[in-house]
Structure 1
Amino acid sequence: MKSGRIVEMGTPWEIYFNSDKRFVADFIGRANFIEGKAASIEDSFIMIDSAIGPIACEKKIAAAPGRAVTVCIRPEFIRVLKGDHKEGRNIFRGRVESLVFVGDAYEGEIRVGETLLIFRIEPTTAVREGEEIALHFDPHHCSILLN
């Protein structure tokens, strides 16, 4: 609910994974929001031009090229890649700015260009504050929110 009105109805799973509304996506759980524009449609993906680079998102909603959108990616779906990963779909490089051990995971912040992303990784993942790393997120776990 927002201002006394129902914004979206669905199961908790549907709302968490498939909402197309920023208010709802931000309300339930933590999330990263990356502004961009729909650039092209490739097979079952929509390519988004964003400040961190091109992002491929599963085509769950219609977003015509040129339309302003926001990409939502949950912290638990950001994966740290080991080795020398410079290019690939949804692979980005950034510097770890903070890292906090929370028992079952590490929660941290990584800066990709000017964009700060929050991530959550397994406690056995070897990452240090200040380290430059490659990260990846699966296009199936990106949600497109229409602006």
Structure 2
Amino acid sequence: MKSRTVTLNNVCKSFVDDSGSAFQAVTDVNLHIEAGEFVTLLGPSGCGKTTTLRMVAGFESISTGDIYFGDDNVRNLQPNKRDCTMVFQSYALFPHMSVYDNVAYGLRLKKMPATAIREKVNQTFDIMNLGAYQDRMPGQLSGGQQQRVALARALVMEPSVLLFDEPLSNLDAKLRLTMRDEIRRIQKAVGITAIYVTHDQSEAMSMSDKVVVMNKGRIEQVGTPTEVYQRPATRFVADFIGVANFLQAEVADTDSESVQLRLGEALVKMPSDGSFESGRQVTLVARPEAIGLTRPTAAGSGNLLPGLVQRSAFMGQVQDYWVDIGDNEIQVTVSNPRAHEPFQPGDKVLVDLHGDSLHWVQG
């Protein structure tokens, strides 16, 4: 199956509300997607991710900017001329047609010979493991099976770009886990370029080659799942993806390799990126699972800070603690809690802010 690059250049979308006032839903989106990449547009409701996807599909007009599939500017092309297909949240299957007829529908509209249709549909059924269901009606299928049929109907058209609009939101939690693995497996197998919209962080992190985090119509960061989690570009990204502790600190000293930060009465050391100046105020990001917690049996050194446990929660695989350090309350996640005697509210502890795991953000 062929695939193409997708490029958005300065794409904007304005709407006019009922009062006649214009508002900007998408602002200056610039994005390049390599052929065969799986890219997720991630963000809260109203951030512009679905509007961006619909502009790529041609279902929404572009106010300004251009969209390219390969070298072709598709801005003024109708959806059926864009060489892309969409998998919808609602499945959008024809209830009066069998699974086979639903998948074959688009090929029949193209007036392909019946033998060619049968060959292509059967090839797609083999990829999707749907052959046993081809004579069933959509109402006889589970939600996960219907979603696979919707994906098969999109793939059989052999588009160069495949679009997903929150396709798993109608499924229960366990089935979502299965289906996201299935979608990723199929995308890799056929090598198609995929753009996927979701507000679910776990979907984005587990499925994507690249994550595009959006907020208020703008792109906040583009990167691999590891990059956006471990090195968030802004406070919004750090706060939206996973759990983050934010600590206000002041640069006390710096050299070419490291920087010392004053956090209350304590000094914390972390690697320097060369952008620090003495006296500068910075916001540190510390992920709960990257913070150590020990009992104060010996004098601390380095990034060990005295803390006081306020509360805890046993979560099965992990134990979460909320600990006061100075004027800050932070969350700490300890894995395999059975291996440690649990801390109790009121316990004094030493908090280890691992310098290599700290990151600073703007905003």
Length-normalised TM-score, structure 1: 0.91
Distance in 2, Cα, partners of 1:83 & 1:46: 26
| Bigger fraction of residues in helix | 2
Aligned with 2:244 (options 13, 25, 31):
31
Q: How far has the Cα of 1:45 moved from its partner?
A: 1.7
Alignment partner, residue 125 of structure 1: 340
Greater relative CO, 1 or 2 (CA 8 Å, sep 6+)? 1
Please show how residues 77-116 of structure 1 align to structure 2 within 5 Å. 77-116=290-329
15-24 vs 2-11, greater mean Cα deviation:
15-24
Q: Does 1:50 align with 2:263?
A: yes
Distance in 2, Cα, partners of 1:70 & 1:129: 27
Which structure 1 residue ranges, 5 or more long, are not aligned?
Answer: none
Distance in 1, Cα, partners of 2:298 & 2:358: 20
Distance in 1, Cα, partners of 2:308 & 2:255: 30
Q: CA, structure 1 residues 21+115, in 2 after alignment: closer, same or farther (shift >3 Å)?
A: same
Instruction: Tell me the alpha carbon deviations over residues 112-132 of structure 1, each in whole angstroms, 9 at most, x when there is no partner.
Output: 122101000131322222111
Aligned AA (1:112): I
Aligned with 2:360 (options 140, 144, 147):
144
Which structure 2 residue ranges, 5 or more long, are not aligned?
Answer: 1-213
Alignment partner, residue 225 of structure 2: 12
The question of whether the paired residues in 2 share the 8 Å contact of 1:54 and 1:90 is answered with: yes
Q: CA, structure 1 residues 100+52, in 2 after alignment: closer, same or farther (shift >3 Å)?
A: farther
Over the aligned positions, Cα root-mean-square deviation in angstroms equals 1.7
Q: How far has the Cα of 1:61 moved from its partner?
A: 5.5
Q: CA, structure 1 residues 134+110, in 2 after alignment: closer, same or farther (shift >3 Å)?
A: same
Length-normalised TM-score, structure 2: 0.39
Q: Does 1:74 align with 2:290?
A: no
Instruction: Tell me the alpha carbon deviations over residues 78-128 of structure 1, each in whole angstroms, 9 at most, x when there is no partner.
Output: 111245233311101111111100000101100112210100013132222
| Bigger fraction of residues in strand | 1
Could you tell me the percent identity over the aligned residues?
Answer: 25
Alignment partner, residue 2 of structure 1: 215
Aligned AA (1:132): K
Detail structure 1 runs of 4+ shifted over 6 Å in the superposition. Answer: none
Q: How far has the Cα of 1:139 moved from its partner?
A: 0.4
**How many aligned residue pairs are there?**
147
The DSSP-based 3-state class of the residue aligned with 2:237 is helix
Max Rg structure? 2
